Copies of this chain bind each other. A is one copy, B any other.
């Protein structure tokens, strides 16, 4: 079974679970303005208006422009592939009339960008086509359907993520020999990019910020690009880095300490910051289980950091990872408005999360570790090899 076939079967199961009759993904010019869920439903881009329909009984239709018909048929995933020349309208209306769905789930969501694939213009077009046949008022958000489909990783998906993590850890190992006083953040980033290139892999996010390299006292912030700032003895240096393997991402952070002349280990304040982060991650991981809520997991780590006397990290504790380095809906995050309902969605087996608290060590730099775990029925399992010691640079 290929990925699309796997995911279409999973989609029908999910429609029954949520008691939804029908799910439509509606796109055009997908290279220009795609829907994030298309990666699971097609193997190539489409040009004209395209409707991908799944019913709760597991029936599937792809209504596509004539020139896209052959490549969609080649997938062997859709029960019926309908190619049109003049207009998608009569074909779409015919399928819906046959299905008589009580609900038509469509990919829009205020809370979750990953489930918000339909553009407003396309929504208006679909609504008009459905109104003409009396189904305009049956549109509902497909957020729950798309979230579940995206979040519940299959074995094949987990395997790709594990391979991405392995490559990332190996490159972190290689770069420790390269880092030394005088090297700039840019040079270190360039070294890592070169390793990624040699392995024939892609970076997991925007090359301007992947890897992120931050050395010394906290002036620059995360998501800001590597600079000409030089590594200096006494600096805490951290990196945020990930690669993509077979379409799936890793996203890890590691913290390094640059020894001063005569030092054998980090000074007490750096060691204490590091141990606080390691403990916060472990506490959070131990609390993860299906049914738990991200807001509670975030609170455990956040309180640990604050109780130790550090400022709280100005972001969520962790996000999901999949085809994007930031993926999925459920979030290990605080109850801030911009996170909407994400921190309140119950965790499920098959979800992959980062855990990434951070704290500043005055005059030294930022200590931050990002690990990756998968939620199982028994709790969280490490996907990454957790960092338990500061990486010392001489």
Contact = CB atoms under 8 A, between A and B. Distances in A.
A114 B67 contact: no
A106 B120 CA distance: 10
Contacts of A125: 110
Measured as residues with beta carbon below 8 angstroms from the partner, the interface class of chain A is 35 or more
A119 B121 contact: no
Contacts of A315: 67
Contacts of A128: 110
Interface stretch (A42-50, A192-200, A341-349): A42-50
B116 A33 contact: yes
Contacts of A338: 48-49, 65, 86-88
Interface in A74-133: 85-89, 106, 108-125, 128
A144 interface: no
Nearest to A315: B67
B120 A108 contact: yes
Given A66-B221, A67-B224, A117-B33, A108 B86 contact: no
A226 interface: no
Contacts of A124: 108, 110
A29 B224 contact: no
B114 A117 contact: no
Given A47-B326, A224-B71, A116 B113 contact: no
Interface in A336-392: 336-338
Contact of A206 (B45, B108, B116, B337): B45
A108 B121 contact: yes
Contact of A205 (B31, B111, B121): B31
A315 B225 CA distance: 46
A109 B113 CA distance: 20
B121 A337 contact: no
A222 B67 contact: yes
A306 interface: no
Interface of A: 28-29, 31-36, 44-45, 47-49, 65-68, 70-71, 85-89, 106, 108-125, 128, 141, 205-206, 208-209, 220-225, 314-315, 324, 326, 336-338
Given A86-B338, A110-B122, 19 more contacts: A28-B113, A29-B113, A32-B36, A32-B113, A33-B34, A33-B117, A44-B209, A49-B338, A67-B224, A70-B220, A71-B223, A85-B314, A86-B337, A106-B120, A110-B125, A112-B121, A116-B119, A120-B122, A120-B123
The 5 closest A-B pairs by CB, nearest first: A116-B121, A67-B223, A108-B120, A87-B337, A120-B123
